[in-house]
Chains A and B, each alone.
Chain A
Amino acid sequence: MAKIKMPKGNPSLDMTPMVDLAFLLVTFFMLTASSRVSEPVVVDTPSSISDKLLPENVMLISIDEKGRAFYNINNSDVRQQTLEKMGEQYKINFTDKEKKRFAGMTSFGVPIAQLKEYINMDDPHRMLVKSAGIPHDSLHNELGDWIQFGRVEAAKQAKVQKEKAESLGREFKYEPLRFAIKADSKTNYIAVKDIITVFTDKDIYRFNLITDLEQGEVKK
């Protein structure tokens, strides 16, 4: 019987194209990705047909199913300064280290009295904390103060940036701070209304309500 001659090939194959592709994808994802931020609560937003995107410069109040309020502001410098001002207001001294840590955090929902402790926790511990939500009743309107200070600091920040850009002779594109509300579908509307009242008391009437894009058939 004739022996079948196996071709004596090299078992290793040229991986260069694959590596090229892999690195291309890595680069692509690195550049396009905005990393997913972990929030202390899961908020399942209702859906709508609106396809407007959320603006960059935004103050976000999340409201979970039970009506607890969580506060977040995108710009980390503004966050830090807001904390400073809140500390002055409530006579709580935050160290520089705590301020730095706070600047890097995401949304939080603890009263200001517990905030110091909350900031000093390790990240894994912090995720397990049961947040009480930021108080916003008429007696302890901490949320109102957060909103007010955040707004003032954001305006200051914009001014600083504008001056900086003008001194360098560049054009400054001002993007006003927007107020976004991200509430759970099952939240009682009255809880959302309470938060909106906090805003309207500060003469803020325009909101971005965060929704999912509606799936399924288009009604005609």
Chain B
Amino acid sequence: MAEVNTDGGGGGGKHDKKRAKKASTKIDMTPMVDLAFLLLTFFVLTSTFSKPKTMEINFPAKPEDKKDETKVNNALTFLMTKDDGIYYYYGEFYIAGNAKGVPPTQLIKTNYSATGLHKLLLDKNKPTNDAIKSLEDRLKKREIVDTTYKRLVNKEKGTKEALTVLVKADEKAIYKNVIDLIDELNICNIGKYAIVDMGAKELELLNVANQK
């Protein structure tokens, strides 16, 4: 920085005693602060705090023979299609005019809202949800410990009576739909679910339903 010369012209300075200049003990910290804040800004802007969250999922191994697809007792099948459309049916799939004489499967339309999918899943999975609820109460009353609770919940989700959900998506369904559905299944304590391919007959039925 420029300094103002205060010597006053320098007249008669010859005989002055040479005095040691009293240097200030303070250093100018401004550049250091500048640098510090520059670095600070840089790190604030470039850093990411949150690591991405993930959802763990197991896909079924390729079935050895394709015949056992529909042999599920307590199954709810979801069919997803374009424009966030979602249909479901309960139990086995029956084509029209089957040998057993059972009326053909009807697809029921639903949606991703709290009154649609959420309510449906809670209703269908009521026994499991009730069991988990009672376990939760016991946990709150400190009758069981945390690890036991988790083990029991998993056991409850895996019982034979618990609802099984099959997720099937056609070519026009988007990834978000699938994730939303799986998320909803997790919320509703459904432990048994699988993402599987859609059968040709189901696709036909879905296309008919779509055109309505």
Cα separation A210 to B182 with both chains bound (whole Å): 13
Instruction: Pick the interface stretch among B152-160, B167-175, B203-211.
Output: B167-175
Residues of B with C-beta under 8 A to A30: 39, 43
Cα separation A16 to B27 with both chains bound (whole Å): 11
Instruction: Pick the interface stretch among A138-146, A168-176, A183-191.
Output: A183-191
Query: Does B118 reach chain A (CB closer than 8 Å)?
Result: yes
Measured CB to CB, the closest approach of chain A to B1, in angstroms, equals: 12
Count contacts on B: residues with CB < 8 A to the other chain. 47
Query: Does B46 reach chain A (CB closer than 8 Å)?
Result: yes
Query: Of the candidates B51, B175, B178, which one forms a contact with A53 in the assembled complex, judged by CB atoms under 8 Å apart?
Result: B51
Cα separation A204 to B121 with both chains bound (whole Å): 29
Query: Does A89 reach chain B (CB closer than 8 Å)?
Result: no
**Known contacts A22-B40, A185-B174, A205-B61; 13 further A-B pairs (Cβ under 8 A):** A12-B26, A30-B39, A33-B47, A34-B51, A35-B47, A49-B187, A52-B53, A53-B54, A200-B61, A207-B58, A210-B53, A211-B55, A212-B52
Query: Of the candidates B40, B54, B169, B174, which one forms a contact with A52 in the assembled complex, judged by CB atoms under 8 Å apart?
Result: B54
Count contacts on A: residues with CB < 8 A to the other chain. 55
Give chain A's interface secondary structure class. mixed
- List residues of chain B with CB under 8 Å of any chain A CB: 26, 29-30, 32-33, 36-37, 39-40, 43-44, 46-62, 80, 114, 118, 169-180, 182-183, 186-187
Residues of B with C-beta under 8 A to A1: none
Residues of B with C-beta under 8 A to A190: 169-171, 173
Cα separation A205 to B60 with both chains bound (whole Å): 7
Query: Does A192 reach chain B (CB closer than 8 Å)?
Result: yes
The reply to whether A46 and B33 form a contact with Cβ atoms under 8 Å apart is no
- List residues of chain A with CB under 8 Å of any chain B CB: 12, 15-16, 18-19, 22-23, 25-26, 29-30, 32-36, 45-54, 63, 180, 182-193, 196, 199-200, 203, 205-214, 219
The reply to whether A187 and B54 form a contact with Cβ atoms under 8 Å apart is no
Query: Of the candidates B32, B57, B80, B175, which one forms a contact with A46 in the assembled complex, judged by CB atoms under 8 Å apart?
Result: B175
The reply to whether A26 and B36 form a contact with Cβ atoms under 8 Å apart is yes
The reply to whether B174 and A186 form a contact with Cβ atoms under 8 Å apart is yes
The reply to whether B54 and A211 form a contact with Cβ atoms under 8 Å apart is yes
Query: Could you list 23 A-B pairs, sorted by A, with CB under 8 Å?
Result: A19-B32, A29-B44, A34-B51, A48-B179, A49-B186, A50-B186, A51-B53, A52-B56, A53-B52, A53-B53, A53-B54, A63-B175, A182-B52, A186-B176, A188-B171, A189-B174, A191-B175, A193-B169, A200-B62, A206-B56, A206-B59, A209-B179, A213-B50
